[in-house]
C-alpha cells in the first residue's frame, strides 16, 4: 500500500515518530513489524491477512518497545477501539502515539487463510462492523473496501450452548478447558490485559489457583472474561494465541452480548465514551436480585 | 537399515490398536481436534482405532504432556497440632503405547532425558518414560516451518522411537515396520500375529525421499557455527531488537517438545491442608525470573527471547552435548506475533559466518 | 417446622445438608440478619455469613472461591439501591454481579445455587426468607462437590 509507505516514511523522516508499528510480509505470512527507517517502511502492507491487533504493542507492559521512543501504529477500526480503551483507562497518552487508521474490509480469522473473504474464513467480529473507518486517528489511509461477509459460526455456537442444560454446558467447558495449560498466552497478547500484576499471579492470598487443573482453569477463564467485560473489543487475539485451541472468543462473544443487551455497550473508538463497568445507571435492570 | 523389519497392513494396524487397548494399555495417538474451526490434530488417549488420524496435520501440542503433565501433584500436606504431615501422591504411570508419534516429538524424549537425569533423577518423568513404548510414523515433511535437518534430524529419524512405521505408499495403505529398540521388539513379539513377513513396499523409499526434499531446503543454518557465535556475543546489538514483535506469551514453550521448565507451587485447600504441584512454566514470562526484591534480571522481552535461543542452542549443548530443539516448527506456527526461529537461526548463521571471515586470514 | 419437631427429629446423619456461604454488607444485610436473630426468627442453620464493608467489596471471585472450597450455594446480599452507606457501592456491584452471573451460567454453573438479594437493616423477616428459600433450592439441587473436585485426577 503505497499511501501507507509514503506516509510512514514521511513521519520518520520528519522526526514525528521514532518507529512505525505495522504489518509486513514475513517468511511465513503477514506479521507485525517495527519499522525504524524509511527503507523499513517499504515493507509495510495491509490486506485481509492483517489479523493482528497492533494496539497491543502500545500497552505499558511493552517496556522493550517503549524505549524505542514515539511510535506510529497502523490500526484497523477494531484495533482503534482497543486504543480508545487504553486512553480511557489512562494507560496511554494521546500525544505519545501517532495513530494511522486503515479503511478496512474485514480480515481472515487466521493468518493462514487464503482466497476471497467468505463467511467461512472471515473473522467473527467483521460482519456488521461499525468501525470500518476509524475516527480515532491522526491519518486515515486506503479506499473503503466493500463490506465484509458475516461469519455465523460463533453466534451459532453461543446459541447452541445456551440451549443446553447447565450440567451439559458445564460438561462442554470441562472438556474444553481441560486442555488449558495456563501458559497465559491469552493474557499476554491481549491489548487490554494491562495490569502490572495480574490477579492470577498473586499467591497470598491466591484467588486463582495457578495450576492448570480444571478448577484453576475455570477460575482463570471466569476472571479473564469478567475483567474484560465492557473493555474487550473482540479482536480475537486471545483465541489466535491459544496453543490449546480453546474457543475463547465464544466466551468473549457471550460477554459482549450481555454487555450490549444490559448496558447498550458496543466496542467504540471514542475514548470519551463511558465504560459500562465502573459507571452505573440507578435504573439498571435488577431482575436477578431478590 | 539393519534392524528387524516387518510389514503391517492397514486392517492389522487397527486390530493391533484394538488389542493394545483391550490389554488395558493406554494408547495415545493423533486424532482430529474436537470443536475447532480449522483442521487441527491433538495427541489423545484413544479408545477406538477409527479415531486415529496418522496422515493428518502435526498435532498442535507435542508428546511431552504424556511424560511431563502440565500440572501434577507431588505431595499433599496436612497441618496437625503444630506439626506437618506429608502424604506422597500415588505414582500414576499408566502402561502406554504411543501410536503414530511424529519423529520430531519422539526425538525430543531422549534429549530431555538428559536434564531429567542430571542433578537428580526425576522419578515421574522416568516412571512414565519406562512405562511407554513409542511407535513413530515417518513424517511426510510438513511445511516451510519445519527445520529438523538443521538440528541433525529428518522426517524419518528413528531417534526416540521404539518402533518405526514407514507408510507403504500403496493404495491399500499399510506400513513397513522397523524395530528400533528392545522394548519395541518386545511389543512386536507380544503382538506378532498382526505383523507379516518383512517386505519393502516400493513406495517407501520414494516417500522418504520426498519428505526429506520437502524440508531440506527450509534452512541452511549450522548450529555448531551458531553456538560458537552465541558463546561470544551475549551483548550483541542483535538482541536489542530481536524480540520486538514477541508478546512474551509463551505459546512457543507450551507447544515445544523440548521445553521442560516447571514451577513448584503450594496450593492450599482450606486452612490446614494443601497440595504441592509442579506446573509448566516458561522463560518467556516476565515473572519467570522476577525476584522477591522486585528486581528482574531479564527485564525486557528481548532478554527473555535471547534466553530461549541460548538455552536451546548454546547452554543445553554445552551441558549435555545436545541441541534442545527438534526443528518441529511448532513455535513458528503457534506464534501470534510472527517470531520465526528458522529465520532467526539463518540470521545468526549469517552473523557467525561474517564474524568468522572477519577474524580469519586476511 | 416448629421448634419442637426440629429438636425431636434430627435429620438422618447421611442426609444432605447444603453448605451455603453468604457474603453480606456490614451496614444493611448483616444488621438485617442480626435483627432476624434477635427477633428469634426460625431459619435454616446452613448459612455461614462472611461480613464485608459493602457489596462493592464483593468480588465475584469470592463466589467462585466458595464453590472451590466446597460450598453448595452462595448468597450475596447488601443494601437496597439508594441506601448504600458509601453512596454508590451497590450500584457498581449490581453491574458486576449482572455480568458475573451470566458468565457463570454460560460456563455451566447452575444459577439456582446463587442468590442475590437486597436486605435492609429492618428486613429481618426478608433475610430469613432468603436463607430458607436458598437452602431449600440448593438442597433440591444436591451437593456441588463437582466444582470442588474439578481438581481430581490432575
Specify whether A77 is located in the same domain as A178.
no
CA end-to-end distance (rounded Å), chain C? 44
Q: Say if the Cβ atoms of B144 and A206 lie within 8 Å.
A: no
Specify whether A135 is located in the same domain as A192.
no
- pLDDT tens-digit series, residues A116-167: 999 999 999 999 999 999 999 999 999 999 999 999 889 999 999 999 999 9
Residue A273 lies in a domain: no
Rounded Cα distance between C61 and A225, Å, is 12
The rounded mean pLDDT for chain A is: 94
pTM reported for the whole predicted model: 0.92
Would you tell me how many other CB atoms lie within 10 Å of the CB of residue B341? 25
Cβ proximity of B78 and B84 under 8 Å: yes
Question: pLDDT-based confidence at A94, cuts 50/70/90?
Answer: very high
Residue A280 lies in a domain: no
Q: Which three cell numbers stand for residue B220?
A: 541452511
Give the pLDDT confidence score for residue C3 in this predicted structure.
45
Beta-strand (E) ranges in chain A? 19-26, 29-35, 44-45, 71-75, 97-102, 139-141
Q: Which residues of C touch B270 (CB under 8 A)?
A: 69
Residue A24 lies in a domain: yes
Please name the residues in contact with C43: beta carbons below 8 A apart, sequence gap of 6 or more. C36, C127, C128, C131, C132
Q: Which three cell numbers stand for residue A6?
A: 509514503
Rounded Cα distance between C91 and B203, Å, is 72
Mean pLDDT of A163-185: 94
List the chains bordering chain C where 3 or more Cβ pairs fall under 8 Å. A, B
User: Strands A19-26 and A29-35, how do they pair?
Assistant: antiparallel
- Altogether, the residues listed in chain C come to a count of 154
Specify whether A14 is located in the same domain as A125.
yes
B71 to chain C, any CB pair closer than 8 A? The answer is yes
Residue A275 lies in a domain: no
Give the pLDDT confidence score for residue A61 in this predicted structure.
85
Give the pLDDT confidence score for residue B1 in this predicted structure.
52
Rounded Cα distance between C129 and C36, Å, is 10
Mean pLDDT of A68-81: 95
The DSSP symbol for B315 reads I
Give the pLDDT confidence score for residue B50 in this predicted structure.
94
C69 to chain B, any CB pair closer than 8 A? The answer is yes
- pLDDT tens-digit series, residues B103-118: 999 999 999 999 999 9
Helix (H, G, I), strand (E, B) or coil at A34: strand
Q: Which residues of A touch C97 (CB under 8 A)?
A: 288-289
Residue A41's domain spans which residues? Answer: 2-141
Specify whether A128 is located in the same domain as A240.
no
| Positive/negative CA dihedral, C1, C6, C9, C10 | positive
Q: Indicate the CATH number for domain C17-153.
A: 3.40.50
Give the pLDDT confidence score for residue C154 in this predicted structure.
59
Specify whether A224 is located in the same domain as A126.
no
Q: Say if the Cβ atoms of A183 and B71 lie within 8 Å.
A: no
Q: Say if the Cβ atoms of A229 and C60 lie within 8 Å.
A: no
The DSSP symbol for B314 reads I
* CA-based nearest distance A79→chain B, Å: 15
On the question of pLDDT at C5 being above 60, the answer is no
Rounded Cα distance between B179 and B3, Å, is 6
Q: Is the ipTM of this complex over 0.95?
A: no
- pLDDT tens-digit series, residues A25-71: 999 889 999 999 999 999 999 999 999 999 999 998 888 888 899 99
Residue A73 lies in a domain: yes
State the burial class of residue B54 (Cβ atoms within 10 Å of its Cβ: 0-12, 13-18, 19+): middle
Specify whether A58 is located in the same domain as A86.
yes
Rounded Cα distance between B60 and A123, Å, is 21
Specify whether A79 is located in the same domain as A7.
yes
Strand-by-strand arrangement of the B262-268 sheet? B83-88, B71-80, B273-280, B262-268
Residue A63 lies in a domain: yes
Q: Specify the residue for cell string 506429608.
A: B86
C81 to chain A, any CB pair closer than 8 A? The answer is yes
The rounded mean pLDDT for chain C is: 91
**Overall number of domains in chain A:** 2
On the question of pLDDT at A205 being above 80, the answer is yes
Give the pLDDT confidence score for residue B360 in this predicted structure.
44
Give the pLDDT confidence score for residue A66 in this predicted structure.
86
Q: Which residues of A touch C147 (CB under 8 A)?
A: 215, 218
Specify whether A168 is located in the same domain as A258.
yes
Question: Taking the domains of chain C in order of start, what are their residue ranges?
Answer: 17-153
Residue A239 lies in a domain: yes
Specify whether A69 is located in the same domain as A136.
yes
Specify whether A117 is located in the same domain as A23.
yes
Cβ proximity of A134 and A269 under 8 Å: yes
On the question of pLDDT at C1 being above 60, the answer is no
C101 to chain A, any CB pair closer than 8 A? The answer is yes
- Give every residue of chain B whose pLDDT is below 70, as ranges: 1, 35-37, 358-362
Q: Rounded to 5 degrees, what are φ and ψ at B309?
A: -65, -45
Give the pLDDT confidence score for residue B45 in this predicted structure.
96
Amino acid at each position: 500500500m503505497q499511501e501507507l509507505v509514503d506516509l510512514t516514511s514521511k513521519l520518520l523522516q520528519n522526526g514525528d515518530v521514532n518507529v512505525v508499528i505495522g504489518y509486513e510480509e514475513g517468511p511465513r505470512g503477514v506479521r507485525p513489524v517495527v519499522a525504524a527507517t524509511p527503507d523499513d517502511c517499504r515493507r509495510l502492507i495491509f490486506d485481509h491477512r492483517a489479523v493482528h491487533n497492533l494496539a497491543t504493542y502500545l500497552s505499558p507492559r511493552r517496556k522493550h518497545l517503549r524505549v524505542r521512543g514515539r511510535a506510529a501504529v497502523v490500526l484497523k477500526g477494531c484495533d482503534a477501539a482497543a486504543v480508545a480503551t487504553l486512553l480511557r483507562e489512562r494507560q496511554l497518552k494521546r500525544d505519545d502515539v501517532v495513530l494511522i487508521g486503515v479503511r478496512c474490509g474485514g480480515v481472515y480469522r487466521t493468518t493462514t487463510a487464503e482466497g476471497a473473504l467468505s463467511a467461512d474464513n472471515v473473522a467473527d467480529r467483521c460482519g456488521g462492523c461499525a468501525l470500518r473507518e476509524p475516527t480515532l486517528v491522526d491519518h486515515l489511509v486506503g479506499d473503503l473496501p466493500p463490506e465484509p461477509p458475516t461469519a455465523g459460526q460463533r453466534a451459532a455456537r453461543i446459541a447452541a450452548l445456551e440451549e443446553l442444560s447447565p450440567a451439559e454446558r458445564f460438561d462442554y467447558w470441562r472438556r474444553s478447558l481441560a486442555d488449558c495449560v495456563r501458559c497465559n498466552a491469552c493474557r499476554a497478547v491481549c491489548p487490554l490485559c494491562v495490569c502490572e500484576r495480574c490477579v492470577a499471579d498473586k499467591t497470598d492470598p491466591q484467588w486463582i489457583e495457578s495450576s492448570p487443573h480444571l478448577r484453576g482453569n475455570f477460575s482463570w477463564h471466569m476472571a479473564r472474561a469478567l475483567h474484560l467485560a465492557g473493555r474487550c473489543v473482540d479482536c480475537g487475539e486471545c483465541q489466535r494465541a491459544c496453543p490449546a485451541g480453546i474457543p475463547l472468543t465464544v466466551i468473549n462473544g457471550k460477554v459482549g452480548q450481555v454487555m450490549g443487551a444490559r448496558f447498550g455497550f458496543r466496542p467504540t473508538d471514542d475514548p470519551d465514551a463511558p465504560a459500562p463497568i465502573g459507571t452505573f445507571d440507578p435504573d439498571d435492570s435488577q431482575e436477578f436480585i431478590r | 537399515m539393519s534392524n528387524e523389519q516387518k510389514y503391517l497392513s492397514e486392517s492389522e494396524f487397527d486390530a493391533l490398536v484394538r488389542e493394545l487397548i483391550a490389554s488395558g494399555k493406554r494408547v495415545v495417538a493423533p486424532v482430529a481436534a474436537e470443536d475447532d474451526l480449522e483442521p487441527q490434530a491433538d495427541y489423545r488417549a484413544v479408545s477406538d482405532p477409527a479415531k486415529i488420524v496418522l496422515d493428518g496435520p502435526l498435532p498442535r501440542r507435542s508428546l511431552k504432556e504424556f511424560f511431563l503433565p502440565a500440572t501434577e501433584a507431588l505431595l499433599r500436606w496436612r497441618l496437625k497440632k503444630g506439626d506437618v504431615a506429608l502424604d506422597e501422591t500415588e505414582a500414576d504411570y499408566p502402561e502406554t503405547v504411543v501410536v503414530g508419534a511424529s519423529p520430531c516429538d519422539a526425538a525430543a524424549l531422549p534429549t530431555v532425558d538428559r536434564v531429567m537425569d542430571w542433578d537428580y533423577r526425576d522419578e515421574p518423568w522416568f516412571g512414565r518414560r519406562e512405562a511407554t513404548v513409542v511407535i513413530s510414523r515417518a513424517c511426510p515433511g510438513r511445511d516451510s516451518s519445519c527445520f529438523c535437518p538443521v538440528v541433525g534430524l529428518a522426517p524419518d529419524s528413528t531417534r526416540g522411537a521404539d518402533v518405526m512405521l514407514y507408510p507403504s505408499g500403496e493404495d491399500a495403505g499399510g506400513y513397513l515396520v522397523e524395530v528400533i529398540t528392545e522394548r519395541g521388539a518386545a511389543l512386536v513379539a507380544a503382538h506378532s500375529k498382526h505383523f507379516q513377513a518383512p517386505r519393502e513396499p516400493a513406495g517407501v523409499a520414494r516417500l522418504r525421499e520426498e519428505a526429506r526434499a520437502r524440508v531440506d531446503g527450509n534452512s541452511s543454518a549450522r548450529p555448531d557455527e551458531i553456538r560458537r557465535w552465541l558463546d561470544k556475543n551475549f551483548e550483541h546489538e542483535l538482541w536489542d531488537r530481536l524480540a520486538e514483535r514477541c508478546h512474551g506469551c509463551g505459546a512457543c514453550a507450551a507447544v515445544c517438545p523440548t521445553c521442560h521448565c516447571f514451577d513448584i507451587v503450594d496450593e492450599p485447600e482450606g486452612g490446614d491442608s494443601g497440595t504441592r504441584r509442579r506446573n509448566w512454566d516458561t522463560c518467556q514470562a516476565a515473572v519467570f525470573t522476577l525476584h522477591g526484591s522486585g528486581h528482574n534480571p531479564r527485564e525486557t522481552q528481548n532478554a527473555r527471547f535471547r534466553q530461549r535461543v541460548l538455552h536451546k542452542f548454546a547452554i543445553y549443548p554445552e551441558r549435555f552435548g545436545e541441541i534442545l530443539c527438534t526443528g518441529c516448527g511448532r513455535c513458528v506456527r503457534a506464534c501470534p506475533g510472527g517470531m520465526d526461529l528458522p529465520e532467526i537461526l539463518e540470521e545468526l548463521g549469517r552473523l557467525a559466518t561474517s564474524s568468522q571471515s572477519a577474524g580469519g586470514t586476511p | 417446622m416448629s421448634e419442637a419437631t426440629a429438636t425431636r427429629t434430627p435429620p438422618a446423619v447421611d442426609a444432605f445438608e447444603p453448605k451455603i456461604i453468604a457474603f453480606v454488607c456490614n451496614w444493611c444485610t448483616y444488621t438485617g440478619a442480626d435483627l432476624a436473630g434477635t427477633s428469634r426468627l426460625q431459619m435454616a442453620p446452613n448459612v455461614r455469613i462472611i461480613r464485608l464493608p459493602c457489596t462493592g467489596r464483593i468480588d465475584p471471585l469470592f463466589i467462585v472461591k466458595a464453590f472451590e472450597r466446597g460450598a453448595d450455594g452462595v448468597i450475596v446480599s447488601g443494601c437496597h439501591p439508594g441506601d448504600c452507606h458509601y453512596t454508590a457501592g451497590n450500584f457498581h456491584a449490581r453491574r458486576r454481579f449482572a455480568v458475573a452471573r451470566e458468565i457463570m451460567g454460560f460456563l455451566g454453573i447452575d444459577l439456582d445455587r446463587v442468590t442475590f438479594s437486597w436486605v435492609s437493616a429492618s428486613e429481618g423477616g426478608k433475610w430469613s426468607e432468603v436463607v430458607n428459600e436458598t437452602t431449600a433450592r440448593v438442597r433440591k439441587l444436591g451437593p456441588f462437590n463437582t466444582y470442588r473436585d474439578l481438581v481430581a485426577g490432575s
